[in-house]
Amino acid sequence: MSADELYMQRCLELAALGAGYVSPNPMVGAVLVADGKIIGEGYHQRYGEAHAEVNAIQNVLSNYPNAEALLQQSTMYVSLEPCAHFGKTPPCSDLIVKYQIPKVVIGCRDPYTEVNGKGIYKLQAAGIDVIEGVLNQECLSFNKRFFTRIGKQRPYIILKWAQTSDGYFAPEQGQKWISSEASKKLTHRWRSEEDAVLVGYRTALNDDPQLNVREWTGRNPKRIVIDRSLSLPKTLSLFDQSQETLVFNAVKTEIDGQIKYLELENFDTLLPQSICYQLYLMDVQSLIIEGGAHTLELFIKAGLWDEARVFTGAQIWTKGIKAPLLNAEPAEQQNIDTDQLTIYYREI
């Protein structure tokens, strides 16, 4: 790796610290370097708060008595193009110009209409040397949730399920656990990293899932359930008012504390599309679909998925409800305790 790539890799490491807290903003990290030494670091820590560039500059100002002079001979590395507009915070490009940072190295452009090249133009107009495209693909992949929401006007969709070694998803009646405790804990970590988690009617009724992160430390996602006729018992964990819960239905739109009922049309033809568009309007940037088999297959058939995470346990059932099938090749595989985790990416 070149020096520029090493510093950009550090930006991505910093950016990852904001996972689960900055959506619908992108995760961004920034590093300031002077005389071959890192003098300041920062990342976007929470939605609505200071961006990575601001925190990196503040880091220098707080630690060096000659901070302004150091900034004037430094290079800023940032994983995403600095913003050029007033949003929740002032434009980062203006702050870079204010402190006369002479060079900025950018991982990738921001596709958001209010930015997309405008931040780079503002820096260059101020005489700042701008280099873009360092670890470009890595930076694009890192913020794939953000880019999917902006480019496709829907959340980044992750399918997740467990299956037996002979390909069964669930028993024909009742409930049986397939994956290990380690896989369960990993699932809770994933929930803490995404905006929302969705299940279908039968999964809610048969499994009574809590859809929280009790096995992990982090914030709970929005819970989403599909209940066309609003016939799910209110005694289910989903209705305990402990976290924001969306109920997509064909009956009413109403708010009851933490429970939001959203009426949808086209239940028989365009249900996945309608759900995706409503979540986009609500700034939901990423969604995990955890079942059941019918719900997963609805999104697969509609081509509305980006990634699938499949746990395969050691059990053999010989009968039951078959697991969904993907028209995709495995991209990654690893062992999680007694399970095998296989990750797929949808080819576009």
Taking 70 as the threshold, does the pLDDT of residue 62 lie above it?
yes
Q: What does the pLDDT read at residue 263?
A: 96
The mean per-residue pLDDT over the stretch 31-48 comes to: 95
What mean pLDDT is predicted for residues 68-83?
A: 95
pTM (two decimals): 0.90
In order, the DSSP letters of 160-225 are EEEE-TTSEEE-SSS----S-HHHHHHHHHHHHHSSEEEE-HHHHHHH----S-TTSSSPPPEEEE
pLDDT over 80 at 100, yes or no: yes
User: Residue 88 above 80 pLDDT?
Assistant: no
Name the average pLDDT for the chain: 93
Residue 113: the pLDDT is 67
pLDDT, position 322: 92
Q: What is the mean pLDDT of residues 93-97?
A: 93
Percent of all residues in the chain with a pLDDT value above 90, rounded to a whole number: 84
Instruction: Write out pLDDT tens, residues 5-29.
Output: 999 999 999 999 999 899 999 999 9
CB 150 within 8 A of CB 111: yes
Just list the catalytic residues. 53
Helix axes 271-281, 293-301, angle to 10 degrees: 80
Mean pLDDT of 252-269: 93
Q: Provide the pLDDT for residue 335.
A: 96
Once rounded to an integer, what is the mean pLDDT over residues 268-289?
Answer: 95
What residue type is 35 in one-letter code?
Answer: D
Contact 61, 72 (CB under 8 A): no
Q: Which helix (H) or strand (E) holds 79?
A: strand 75-80
Q: What is the mean pLDDT of residues 60-84?
A: 95
- The amino acid at residue 324 is P
- For the residues 140-158, what does the mean pLDDT come to? 95
**Distances in Å between the alpha carbon of 114 and those of 84, 259, 337?**
7, 33, 46
Confidence of residue 237 (pLDDT cuts 50, 70, 90): very high
pLDDT at 86 over 70: no
CA 311 to chain centroid, in Å, comes to 20
Neighbours of 344 (CB within 10 A): 19
| Pair 339, 188: CB distance under 8 Å | no
pLDDT at position 277 over 90 = yes
Q: Specify whether the CB–CB gap between 279 and 151 falls below 8 A.
A: no
Sign of CA dihedral 273, 279, 280, 286: negative
pLDDT for res 71: 97
pLDDT value at residue 55: 96
| φ, ψ for residue 142, nearest 5 deg | -60, -40
Question: Mean pLDDT, to the nearest integer, of 73-96?
Answer: 84
Contacts of residues 232-235 at CB distance under 8 Å and 24 or more positions apart, as own/partner, are 232/201, 232/204, 232/205, 233/205
Q: How confident is the model at residue 87 (pLDDT cuts 50, 70, 90)?
A: low
Structure tokens at 91: 């434009």
